[in-house]
Amino acid sequence: MALDSGEKKSFHMDPDEFRERGHQVVDWIADYYKRIESFPVLSQAQPGEIRSSLPAQAPQQGEPFETILGDFEKLILPGVTHWQSPNFFAYFPSNASGPSILGDVLSSGLGVQGMLWATSPACTELETLVLDWLVPALGLPEKFLSTKTGGGVIQDTASSAILCALLAARECATNFQSNQVGVPGRLCAYGSMQAHSATEKAMGIAGFGRDNLRLIPTDANFAMDADALVRALENDRNAGLTPFFVCATVGTTSSNAIDPVPKIGPICQKFGAWLHVDSAMSGTAALCPEFRYIHDGIEHADSYCFNPHKWMFTNFDCDCFYVADRAALIRTMSILPEYLRNQATESGAVIDYRDWQIPLGRRFRSLKLWFVLRHYGIEGLQFHVREHVRLAQQFAAWVREDDRFELAAPATLNLICFRLKNGDQANQRLMDALNRSGNLYLTHTRLNDRMALRLCVGQTNTTERNVRNAWRRIQEEAGKLK
Amino acid sequence: MALDSGEKKSFHMDPDEFRERGHQVVDWIADYYKRIESFPVLSQAQPGEIRSSLPAQAPQQGEPFETILGDFEKLILPGVTHWQSPNFFAYFPSNASGPSILGDVLSSGLGVQGMLWATSPACTELETLVLDWLVPALGLPEKFLSTKTGGGVIQDTASSAILCALLAARECATNFQSNQVGVPGRLCAYGSMQAHSATEKAMGIAGFGRDNLRLIPTDANFAMDADALVRALENDRNAGLTPFFVCATVGTTSSNAIDPVPKIGPICQKFGAWLHVDSAMSGTAALCPEFRYIHDGIEHADSYCFNPHKWMFTNFDCDCFYVADRAALIRTMSILPEYLRNQATESGAVIDYRDWQIPLGRRFRSLKLWFVLRHYGIEGLQFHVREHVRLAQQFAAWVREDDRFELAAPATLNLICFRLKNGDQANQRLMDALNRSGNLYLTHTRLNDRMALRLCVGQTNTTERNVRNAWRRIQEEAGKLK
């Protein structure tokens, strides 16, 4: 085949074919949501099963789109756990919604890079604006606004947000020397024994060593014991160490416990430690005035994060990370090689979000969040948060009424920890039977060294029917245990 | 309004509305690609302009989808720099394609979390398989296969890949103690003076201090001087320091220089240092046998990364990161809290990708890569890579023929560094005039302390017409300089 120019041959999908295939894909998703309850929530695939159904080598020649989409349906879908099923109650939700998906589609289509303001001004300015919108909406302090000393940025996950907070705190504690000369001596960080493992992971990454993370005991409600925190800080200070970072959790992963931030804040101030508040799932509840108490004390925080990709109908990834002092974060993360220099950066009039995160590149993630906020309005988001909390509390009431079961932790918001009273083995068997049935999916934790099942209401389309069915199935399977 | 149940009212977009709106959004994207050359490539927005066109507060009530999409077109689009324009020649490309966008749409629609194998087996197994596919396709050593001792994982960016490599190297150099007890003494890392700033940033993050990164001088082609590397390693070792990590670059950001990996590999082995090869953009060229020489010496590498989101028609984010010893990486990144324990993980029969990266959560990114590989086939990808290299080389030939201009670096593949011979100021004025015109977008670097313009051919739809027009406009604007 004689070709003298790239203009004459192309393997690309042209816009008209994209239109046709795009409609097919959108239809597939619409139909998927209609039939989603027909799939087992937890994939029943065995290790290696999906891979072994696929060719061992990449195709040499291109294949028709129908074939690819057909294989997706036939070979991939059986290996999918349906996080968007309304019968998904495991872990924390990672929910999505129509407006979010469509905002994300536009982001994929535009394919812009937001590493610098100059590389796509709207990508930066919409993100800054939308994160500012959420400050009053969640009752956060004004210092987190970009129009004050702070500002917000979208990170992929709360793990990355915690790492960024830890790094900024490290720099502040070392007069901005640790980036240059390494981590000096022993700096100590603190979180509760129920805090997410992300802090432990970040302590390793950032060069402190996990040994320098103190896991503070919790009270009867699995919340950090503020007196124990003071003792730990004093011990370390007396030993010549430098307490520099405290991570308080508003809604722990394990049981939704809420650390006493109003007490922890002044303690951090006294010891000169950076306070980060991790409200990854529960932060969304603060949209409703009646749940806003979860943010009591937040005025003491140096940084804060919550994840719209958990419970605010915005598909992954979307963690909103706020700092009170953006200059500290930027000074921590900034490096400016020649090939990224530009007039806007040098004018100082713009935000370059590459200096607010670990990676350099970044996609236009604020579009999906903007679509969600505009589609639902604050009112629509409040409605669904209230409904999820109401359903979780209804579930807790059913647990209390059944003598075989007990609650394993306070039922704070939308996560219920419960158990059969007759031991870990029975609970393990109950959970395995339920998950194997495919009717629902829930996961476990350990509280006071006993297994507890976790039922978290947060998937976008979960309604009373789904929670009622879940409880009926739990009762049924419990009845079958010998 | 009396409502007794969430089943009776909802603010959600139902599947039928999603279908209708989804078609609208797909049509918008198809039309966008048809008219993309009508926009100025570089957004002409001024700082604050986009933000000030939008409301200062989140809406209390939801808004119709038409209004949101209308505002996107009217208010956001003017602030977008068109990275998918075929007249985009700046930085490195961040290209997209129809099949990639559609794979990504399915990922958004499914909304699964791939943190553990168990949370969606297909998300993990497809990723492992597709990354294995690329090993022979790029001529990489077998040790990077998941079926051998290694394996691949999709990271967001090369920055994150380099950080993960640096952390695994740190752990290997400290007998897996630094995660636990912190970074001991002084470990030294090495990269060329032309290497990407990501290594410098990672050295700060990982607690070594940037002072412990040695920037090795480069040769006349801007590639690392291997003899200078040996001298630096010997100096440090003689001073009682421990060389532990070398980052070699195959295709530097600045000028596409290729470090001499066949020489660097044995040096690393002799000094016991981990060798990471960063081939972020250029790796894609190795799909073609005639360009595979860029990977000469890669058998010495302990880790490697390249970005399909740069030059392989797969939209951001998609960095493929390989390690030769997956056990070392996993041991470095793993933490297993109770709430993530599960049978599959404990069986040891599966990969849990949360242990291969910084964040915990992860989306189904291999779908878009799988769609790209199947749509194009290796043959289609090779065709477009060859075409881009041909066009870049054609551009270089035009530069050589014009007495006012000179090449500023070897024209290796698809990046051409060139300049007007009459000084930095003239080049700055030329670049500013071109970018202001909106006809094309290119950026600069400094080589031998002189400004150079960079023209990188890699956007999906760039054809000979676009490159020819770019050169015509460059000549025109050069002619207008006094």
Segment A58-115, tens digit of pLDDT: 999 999 999 999 999 999 999 999 999 999 999 999 999 999 999 999 999 999 999 9
**How confident is the model over A436-440, as a mean pLDDT?**
97
Sorted by sequence, the CB contacts under 8 Å of residue B199 that are 6+ apart come out as B162, B166, B189, B191, B213, B247
3-class secondary-structure state, position A23? helix
Residues of B in contact with A186 (CB under 8 A): 182
Model pLDDT, residue A7: 47
Dist. CA A385–CA A284, nearest whole Å: 8
B338:A445 CB<8 A: yes
Model pLDDT, residue B220: 96
Model pLDDT, residue A184: 76
Determine which of A63, A85, A95, A102 to mutate to test the interface with B (most B C-beta atoms within 10 Å).
A102
**A225 close to A216: Cβ distance less than 8 angstroms:** yes
**How confident is the model over A301-326, as a mean pLDDT?**
98
Sorted by sequence, the CB contacts under 8 Å of residue A240 that are 6+ apart come out as none
Q: Quick one: pLDDT band at residue A205, thresholds 50, 70, 90?
A: very high
Segment B172-181, tens digit of pLDDT: 999 999 999 8
Q: Which residue of B has its CA nearest to A359?
A: B159
A180:B211 CB<8 A: yes
**B155 close to B366: Cβ distance less than 8 angstroms:** no
3-class secondary-structure state, position A138? coil
- Does the pLDDT of residue B241 top 90, yes or no? yes
Segment A386-430, tens digit of pLDDT: 999 999 999 999 999 999 999 999 999 999 999 999 999 999 999
3-class secondary-structure state, position A53? coil
CA distances from B390 to A398, B40, B351, B398, B414 (A): 70, 26, 40, 12, 8
Sorted by sequence, the CB contacts under 8 Å of residue B243 that are 6+ apart come out as B187, B188, B189, B190, B233, B236, B237, B271, B272, B273
Model pLDDT, residue A102: 98
**A265 close to A297: Cβ distance less than 8 angstroms:** yes
B62:A16 CB<8 A: no
Per DSSP, A224 falls in state B
Residues 336-365 of B with CB under 8 A from A: 336-341, 344, 347, 349-350, 358-361, 363
Residue of B198, B200, B217 whose CA lies nearest to B209 = B200
CA distances from A402 to A221, A405, A413, A431 (A): 22, 6, 20, 17
Residues of B in contact with A393 (CB under 8 A): none
Query: Both tokens of residue A308?
Result: 């719209």
Model pLDDT, residue A337: 81
Give this complex's ipTM: 0.96
Dist. CA B415–CA A237, nearest whole Å: 55
Q: Which residue of B has its CA nearest to A73?
A: B106
Q: Is the peptide bond before A403 cis (omega within 30 degrees of 0)?
A: no
Residue of A234, A190, A232 whose CA lies nearest to A210 = A190
B375:A13 CB<8 A: yes
Model pLDDT, residue B6: 43
**How confident is the model over B193-209, as a mean pLDDT?**
94
Segment B430-461, tens digit of pLDDT: 999 999 999 999 999 999 999 999 999 999 99
Dist. CA A158–CA A468, nearest whole Å: 31
Q: Is B2 on the interface with A (CB under 8 A)?
A: no
Q: Quick one: pLDDT band at residue A4, thresholds 50, 70, 90?
A: very low
Q: Quick one: pLDDT band at residue B482, thresholds 50, 70, 90?
A: confident
Model pLDDT, residue A57: 97
A25:B102 CB<8 A: yes
**How confident is the model over A216-233, as a mean pLDDT?**
98
Model pLDDT, residue B1: 35
Q: What are the φ and ψ backbone dihedral angles of A314, each rounded to 5 degrees?
A: -120, 120
- Does the pLDDT of residue B355 top 90, yes or no? yes
Per DSSP, A241 falls in state -
Residues 288-317 of A with CB under 8 A from B: 309, 313, 315-317
3-class secondary-structure state, position A452? strand
Bigger pLDDT: B2 vs A398: A398
Query: Both tokens of residue A473?
Result: 């199935």
Model pLDDT, residue B347: 84
**How confident is the model over B376-405, as a mean pLDDT?**
98
Residues of A in contact with B186 (CB under 8 A): 182
Query: Both tokens of residue B184?
Result: 């001991």
3-class secondary-structure state, position A481? coil
B51:A27 CB<8 A: no
For residue A19, give the nearest of B26, B43, B361 by CB distance: B26
A363:B5 CB<8 A: no
**A459 close to A85: Cβ distance less than 8 angstroms:** yes
In this structure, which long-range contacts are made by residues B51-60, counting pairs with CB atoms below 8 Å and at least 24 apart in sequence?
Answer: B51/A125, B51/A126, B51/A128, B51/A129, B54/A126, B54/A129, B56/A132, B57/A133, B57/A136, B58/A130, B58/A133, B58/A134, B58/A137, B58/A373, B58/A377, B58/A378, B59/A373, B59/A374, B59/A377, B59/A378, B60/A377, B60/A378, B60/A379
Q: Are strands B242-249 and B187-192 parallel, antiparallel or unpaired?
A: parallel
Dist. CA B471–CA B469, nearest whole Å: 5
Residues 64-123 of A with CB under 8 A from B: 65, 67-68, 72, 76-84, 91, 94-102, 104-106, 108-113, 117-123
Dist. CA B39–CA B32, nearest whole Å: 10
Dist. CA B412–CA B409, nearest whole Å: 9
- Does the pLDDT of residue A29 top 90, yes or no? yes
Segment A175-196, tens digit of pLDDT: 999 999 998 778 999 999 999 9
Q: How far is B255 from chain A (nearest CA, A)?
A: 10
Residues of B in contact with A54 (CB under 8 A): 126, 129
Sorted by sequence, the CB contacts under 8 Å of residue B342 that are 6+ apart come out as B116, B118
Model pLDDT, residue B126: 98
Q: Quick one: pLDDT band at residue A335, thresholds 50, 70, 90?
A: confident
Bigger pLDDT: A349 vs A25: A25
Dist. CA A149–CA A151, nearest whole Å: 7
A84:B7 CB<8 A: no
- Does the pLDDT of residue B50 top 90, yes or no? yes
Residue of B70, B103, B343, B180 whose CA lies nearest to A76 = B103
3-state secondary structure chain B: CCCCCCCCCCCCCCHHHHHHHHHHHHHHHHHHHHHHHHCCCCCCCCCCHHHHCCCCCCCCCCCCHHHHHHHHHHHHHHHCCCCCCCCECCCCCCCCCHHHHHHHHHHHHHCCCCCCHHHCHHHHHHHHHHHHHHHHHCCCCHHHCCCCCCEEEEECCHHHHHHHHHHHHHHHHCCCCHHHHCCCCCEEEEEECCCCHHHHHHHHHCCCCHHHEEEECECCCCCECHHHHHHHHHHHHHCCCEEEEEEEEECCCCCCCECCHHHHHHHHHHHCCEEEEECCCHHHHHHCHHHHHHHCCHHHCCEEEECHHHHCCCCCCCEEEEECCHHHHHHHHCCCCHHHCCHHHHHCCCCCHHHHCCCCCCCCCHHHHHHHHHHHHHHHHHHHHHHHHHHHHHHHHHHHHCCCEEECCCCCCCEEEEEECCCHHHHHHHHHHHHHHCCCECEEEEECCEEEEEEECCCCCCCHHHHHHHHHHHHHHHHHCC
Q: Quick one: pLDDT band at residue B3, thresholds 50, 70, 90?
A: very low
**A173 close to A339: Cβ distance less than 8 angstroms:** no
Model pLDDT, residue B322: 98
Dist. CA B253–CA B443, nearest whole Å: 11
Q: Indicate left, alpha or beta for A139 from its phi (over 0: left) and psi (-120 to 50: alpha).
A: left
**A379 close to B62: Cβ distance less than 8 angstroms:** yes
Q: pTM for the complete prediction?
A: 0.97
For residue B108, give the nearest of A49, A179, A315 by CB distance: A315
Model pLDDT, residue B329: 96
Q: Would you say how long chain B is, in residues?
A: 482
- Does the pLDDT of residue B246 top 70, yes or no? yes
Lowest-pLDDT range, A15-24, A75-84, B60-69, B176-185?
B176-185
Model pLDDT, residue A191: 98
Model pLDDT, residue A371: 98
Model pLDDT, residue A6: 44
Residue of A280, A344, A269 whose CA lies nearest to A306 = A280
A109:B96 CB<8 A: yes
Torsion of CA B173, B176, B177, B179, to 10 degrees: 100
**How confident is the model over B288-314, as a mean pLDDT?**
98
DSSP state string for A83-124:
TTSTTB-SSS-----HHHHHHHHHHHHH----SSGGG-HHHH
Average pLDDT taken over every residue of chain B: 95
Dist. CA A31–CA B470, nearest whole Å: 45
